[in-house]
Amino acid sequence: MLSRLALVSASALKSSGPLGAGLVQASRSIGTSPQSLAPVPPLPEKGGQVRHGIIPEELFQFLYPKTGVTGPYMLGTGLLLYLLSKEIYVINHETFAAASIGIVIVYGIKKFGPSVAAFADKLNEEKVSKAQEVKDLAVKSLTEAIEEEKKEQWRAEGRQMLFDAKRNNVVMLLETNHRERLHMVTNEVKKRLDYQIDVQNLHRRLQQEHMVDWVEKNVIKSITPQQEKESIAKCITDLKKLAQTAKATA
Amino acid sequence: MMLSFFDQFASPTYLGIPLIALALSLPWILYPTPSNRWLNNRLLTLQAWFINRFTQQLLLPLNIGGHKWAMLFASLMIFLMTLNLLGLLPYTFTPTTQLSLNMGLAVPLWLATVIIGMRNQPTIALGHLLPEGTPAPLIPVLIIIETISLFIRPLALGVRLTANLTAGHLLIQLIATAAFVLFPMMPTVAILTSTVLFLLTLLEVAVAMIQAYVFVLLLSLYLQENV
């Protein structure tokens, strides 16, 4: 609301004559502000120090240079006695009621104060721990992801070796195949050559046999019956001779 | 001018300015405004926790239509509880001892619940006038009784709060006066009376909180019937 007032007065000044415009130039322009809400200044760790529950420590510090340690207490006592003696504060039934409620309040604060404070701290602590848990979980999962990534990189390096091995395998297979085919080719060629050789041998044998047969036939044909008889007679005489010799030796 | 025990309940004015306006508005400064921070100081944390828990508990039996009253109930509860508890301090004035204030809170809120019920679901709202399972001859009488009970509700709400607090304050004053008067004469009896006063103060602290809670709880019950 006050900022609106400032804006209205600034615009009024601007439009009010030559001096007004010059005055406004010095102030900050509309739409910007030197104030900023972020970052939020941190909360102090502990609340303001008090003595005896309600009297701020600053009073004691303020009076210490002039009146020492007992100064504020003297002030309090003197004030109380002054009020009582001059009957500015009259003791009546309300004093008893005040004493009663005062005892209740003091007892309540002394007894339940620390536990209530601890409870409030616990509420805040739970909030922080929940957020911290989320953050820790995220950090943990990210670290694990980094580890996994490193492992994958190591595996990728290992894959090179795998590829080399596979390449070797393939090369060997090709080589084996090639050699098998060479072998097969050699065998086939040899078979064909063997066939040719066999054919030639066959030819020669046939020729030989044919020649032998022809010679035999011719010889048999050339043996006249006269020669046959002569040869048989010769054989008989030979045989007789042999028999004689055999008989002689035996 | 003779002071009677009822002068503590006179609405205080100063130079014609009704100070009840201050008594009603100043308790607001006791409650810090929720800030933008994620982690707050203890007072703000406890306040937020208490209001959240209380509203959650109060709105459990209500359906979605009743949840519109959440802010009203929570602020009414905090308001009444603060007024009652601050009234226990000496030399203070408790606005909730004024019947006008309590009727001013009870009648409009109760009437709002009745009108909501009559507008949105008139059959069900009128059906509440007859409890289930009544024998047939009793029906006319029971309807009359239930109607009277319905219209007594705002009166009961207002007067309950007023009477409890007024009685409590009066008792405190009386017993404190007794202790004060007996103190110079019979100190031992005065000490006994002071003990009674102490116990009564404890009771009054409890009553202050309970009465505020009962007021809001009954309103939520009336809302439950009608929404």
Give the domain ranges of chain B. 7-225
Taking CB atoms and an 8 Å limit, are B88 and A92 in contact across chains? no
Residue found under tokens 């739970």: A126
Tell me if residue A73 falls in helix, strand or coil. helix
Q: Å from B42 to nearest chain A CA?
A: 5
Q: List pLDDT tens digits, range B69-91.
A: 999 999 999 999 999 999 999 99
Q: List pLDDT tens digits, range B17-57.
A: 999 999 999 999 999 999 888 888 899 999 999 999 999 99
Residues constituting chain B: 227
Question: Which pLDDT value is given to residue A131?
Answer: 95
Regarding pTM above 0.90, the answer is: no
Question: Which pLDDT value is given to residue A22?
Answer: 47
- The parts of chain A modelled with pLDDT lower than 70 are 1-29
State the Cα–Cα distance between residues A98 and B201, nearest whole angstrom: 10
Q: Å from A73 to nearest chain B CA?
A: 24
Handedness of CA B200, B201, B206, B209 (dihedral sign): positive
Burial B161-181 (b: 16+ CB within 10 A, else e): bbebbbebbebbbebbbbbbe
B195: closest chain A residue by CA:
A100
Give the residue, A57 or B131, on which the prediction is more confident.
A57
Q: What is the DSSP string of A84-142?
A: HHTTSS---HHHHHHHHHHHHHHHHHHHHHHHHHHHHHHHHHHHHHHHHHHHHHHHHHH
Nearest by CB to B41, from A43, A96, A103: name it.
A43
- Interface probe for A, chosen from B37, B43, B197, B203 (most Cβ of A below 10 Å), is B197
Handedness of CA A92, A97, A100, A105 (dihedral sign): negative
Q: Å from A84 to nearest chain B CA?
A: 16
Question: Which pLDDT value is given to residue B131?
Answer: 83
Q: What is the amino acid identity at position A232?
A: I
B41: closest chain A residue by CA:
A43
Whole-Å CA distances, A225 to A194, A222, A238? 48, 9, 20
CB < 8 Å to A92, chain B: 180
CB < 8 Å to B195, chain A: none
Q: What is the amino acid identity at position B78?
A: I
Q: Å from B216 to nearest chain A CA?
A: 25
* DSSP symbol at B186: -
B191: closest chain A residue by CA:
A96
Q: Name the interface residues of A facing B (CB cutoff 8 Å).
A: 37, 40, 43, 47, 91-101, 103-104, 116-117, 119-121, 123-124, 127-128
Taking CB atoms and an 8 Å limit, are A94 and B89 in contact across chains? no
Taking CB atoms and an 8 Å limit, are B205 and A92 in contact across chains? no
Taking CB atoms and an 8 Å limit, are A92 and B197 in contact across chains? no
Q: List pLDDT tens digits, range B149-187.
A: 999 999 999 999 999 999 999 999 999 999 999 999 999
Q: List pLDDT tens digits, range B87-113.
A: 999 999 999 999 999 999 999 999 999
Closest listed residue to residue A101, CA positions, set B30, B176, B29: B176
A114: closest chain B residue by CA:
B42
Cβ–Cβ pairs < 8 A, chains A and B: 72
Q: Å from A35 to nearest chain B CA?
A: 16
Tell me if residue B63 falls in helix, strand or coil. coil
* A39: preceding bond cis by omega (within 30 degrees): yes
Q: Name the interface residues of B facing A (CB cutoff 8 Å).
A: 36-43, 45-46, 49, 88-91, 172-173, 176-177, 179-181, 194, 197-198, 200-202, 205
Banded pLDDT at B134 (limits 50, 70, 90): confident
Contact between B109 and B226 under an 8 Å Cβ cutoff? The reply is no
Q: What percent of chain B has pLDDT over 70?
A: 99
Question: Which pLDDT value is given to residue B122?
Answer: 92
Does the pLDDT of residue B120 top 50, yes or no? yes
Count of alpha carbons within 13 angstroms of residue A10, beta-carbon side = 14
